[in-house]
Amino acid sequence: MVMTGTSPLAALDGIELAYALRAGIDRVFSAQQHLDRINVFPVADGDTGTNLAFTLSAVRASLVKVTTPHAGERLAQIADAAIDGARGNSGAILAEFLQGIAEDAALETHLSPTKFAQAVSNGAKAARGAVIEPRDGTMLSIFDAFSNGLLLRATDHSMDLSSLWACGLTQAQRALINTPMQLSALKDAGVVDAGAAGVVALLEGMGHYLQTGELIESSAALITDTGEADHAGSDVHLEHRWCTECMVTADAIELRTLRERLSTMGSSLVVAGSRRKARIHIHTNNPQDIFRTAHDFGIVSAEKADDMQRQQESALHAAKRSLAIVTDSAADLPEEFLERFDIHVVPIRIHFGSTSFLDKVSLSTEEFYTRLAASTVVPKTSQPPAGDFRRLYGFLGSHYAHVLSVHVSGKVSGTLQSAQTAAGRAQETNSEHSITVIDSLNASAGQALLLMHAAECASAGMDVQALIDSLCQMRAHTRTFAYLADLDYAVRGGRVPRAVRTIANALHIAPLLATRKNGAIKVGGVLFGRKNAVVQFARFILRRLQKGRRYRLIVAHGNNPEAGGALLAHLKMHTSVCESWLVGLGTALGVHGGPGTLVVGLQDIGSIE
């Protein structure tokens, strides 16, 4: 706890504003899991607390980097950080509220009660204007109520800022209690609006500091705590599946035109920011359409798309499971398995020159191969930023006791490192949340088989530590093999030296790649000529099956289902193969192997009894 003084505040400068905001942010952090659990509007995806915490984390970090007593400069810094860090519907609206305050008070060295009330009023109007379909009963109602409470008493010259704040806060708290009367979804669930509750928590924390001068992380129960069940929502059909966001930067962004262009492309649209920088949030079924439209207005960055269907399922069914499973899109999982076991996938980035995509989200596997064949640009992949993992871990921490995160081999990608970094930071803020990050030592189909094993163990109710031990043991019995129909793609991407291609062509051989025990991918064999490559590859795999053992396998094909199906048919003829699947090969290996690549994930699952 830090004491910074309790003298009446005639005006608020940049230093006191930063202290107050820090206190408010800490109050929201302490309420994060509760806010996630009462989140039912506009979608019951259980992530409002996580999104607010992620947004305010960026603001809190900015408070440390720059210190200025100038209130207007401080507000500009705060608003800019909020736009940069904004996540979700609630984060984007909060960022625009702060942007509106900052714009009105830009020239103020100190905020008098009257000027503060005027700036907050501008923030409330800006937030409402940023939402295409504003609804009462949400955080917009809290902004309005807080603003009205301030304006009502701002002309009373006997009031200092802390007393004025208390007047606004009282109105905001009353508005929060009234939110179930304004939205039927809240009334049916027996909760107040989660975003509105988050704003009230922020205002309560700031008000406490202004009254007492104390900086202390609050763990006090909010007035929003109604004793609801583990999650307040219900399983409903989602009109739009992807919560999509990106940042646009330019010298002069036409915000109104941008909103109009996006308004017919989804729901829950928020465009927050300034003419220089804008944060887009929208629920849509076509994330890439959003990114493509945003490109017309400036440079696009920070693209992300969260699967709200998956989030809703997790939030509503977390009580039935104690463990959540996370992976990256390098894993080529059968779709039905992904759905059945509610596995969370963080997408890898794919870059065709200056155009970027989210793997299997804004660019399907089929679209990738079409673009790859037509492109003169060598595509690149990059690991998800740690922030993508951290946001997901934060959300899951509100609904599960444990998270198991299984990723593509650390020998071939930095994705594992991103996940480990995010897990460390997530556990710093929530020490009770257990996150275990595991290197699959595989990729594609082999990585998928390990995830399937983990999901089945979890579904069977296996103890978390026993599950982790079992998964680590299973890695030694799981391998990934790949046949590259054309080495040109691997050479273009720098994965295979030109000399290897030259030798292979001269000798009429096709190298087969295989994972090693340490997760490296090396040449593991060769096919002599490319004639009957499918049969040769099948024989190569079958020679690795031991008598008396049972196997499960996945065949992944690079946009060649006929060859993939033929390979699978040959392998299934062996009596030791008891389970098998055919899937499309994703971009993680497809970018290096190109069309026609065939991958086999092979897993020894025990002796034949």
Q: Each residue of 164-218: pLDDT tens digit?
A: 999 999 999 999 999 999 999 999 999 999 999 999 999 999 999 999 888 765 4
Q: Which amino acid is at 468?
A: I
At which of 215, 237, 254 does a domain end?
A: 215
Query: Comparing C-alpha atoms, which of 512, 380, 521 is closest to residue 442?
Result: 521
Q: φ, ψ for residue 579 (rounded to 5)? A: -145, 145
Q: φ, ψ for residue 14 (rounded to 5)? A: -65, -35
Which residues form the domain of 385? 308-474
CA dihedral 144, 150, 154, 156 (to 10 degrees): 130
Mean pLDDT of 3-32: 85
Q: Please report whether residue 300 resides in a domain.
A: no
Q: Are residues 206 and 136 part of one domain?
A: yes
pLDDT of residue 320: 56
Q: Please report whether residue 166 resides in a domain.
A: yes
- Measured CA to CA, the distance from residue 316 to residue 323 in angstroms comes to 14
Tokens at 29, concatenated = 């952090």
- The string of pLDDT tens digits covering residues 583-602 is 999 998 898 888 999 999 99
Q: Are residues 552 and 488 part of one domain?
A: yes
- The string of pLDDT tens digits covering residues 497-539 is 777 778 777 777 888 999 999 999 888 888 887 788 999 999 9
Q: Are residues 207 and 122 part of one domain?
A: yes
Q: Are residues 154 and 113 part of one domain?
A: yes
pLDDT of residue 224 exceeding 50, the answer is no
Q: Please report whether residue 255 resides in a domain.
A: no
Q: Are residues 40 and 160 part of one domain?
A: yes
At which of 215, 236, 263 does a domain end?
A: 215
Q: Please report whether residue 239 resides in a domain.
A: no
Q: Are residues 410 and 485 part of one domain?
A: no
Q: What percent of the chain has pLDDT over 70?
A: 92
pLDDT of residue 453: 96
pLDDT of residue 316: 61
Q: Please report whether residue 248 resides in a domain.
A: no
Residue by residue, DSSP assigns 159-193 as: --HHHHHHHHHHHHHHHHHHHHHH-HHHHHHT---
Q: Are residues 421 and 378 part of one domain?
A: yes
Q: Which amino acid is at 225?
A: D
Q: Are residues 388 and 483 part of one domain?
A: no
Q: Are residues 408 and 340 part of one domain?
A: yes
pLDDT of residue 425: 84
CATH code at position 354: 3.40.50.10170
Lowest mean pLDDT among 175-179, 334-338, 407-411, 595-599: 334-338
Using an 8 Å Cβ cutoff, are 508 and 502 in contact? Answer: no
Q: Please report whether residue 532 resides in a domain.
A: yes
Lowest mean pLDDT among 23-27, 124-128, 176-180, 311-315: 311-315
At which of 215, 250, 276 does a domain end?
A: 215
Give the pLDDT band of residue 297 (cuts 50, 70, 90).
very high
- Measured CA to CA, the distance from residue 165 to residue 149 in angstroms comes to 8
Q: Are residues 490 and 468 part of one domain?
A: no
Q: Please report whether residue 592 resides in a domain.
A: yes
Q: Please report whether residue 497 resides in a domain.
A: yes
CATH code at position 51: 1.25.40.340
Lowest mean pLDDT among 312-321, 419-428, 439-448: 312-321
Q: Are residues 545 and 603 part of one domain?
A: yes
pLDDT of residue 149 exceeding 70, the answer is yes
pLDDT of residue 323 exceeding 80, the answer is yes
pLDDT of residue 225: 39
Q: Are residues 565 and 423 part of one domain?
A: no
Overall pTM > 0.85: no
In the chain, the number of structural domains is 3
pLDDT higher at 138 or 432: 138
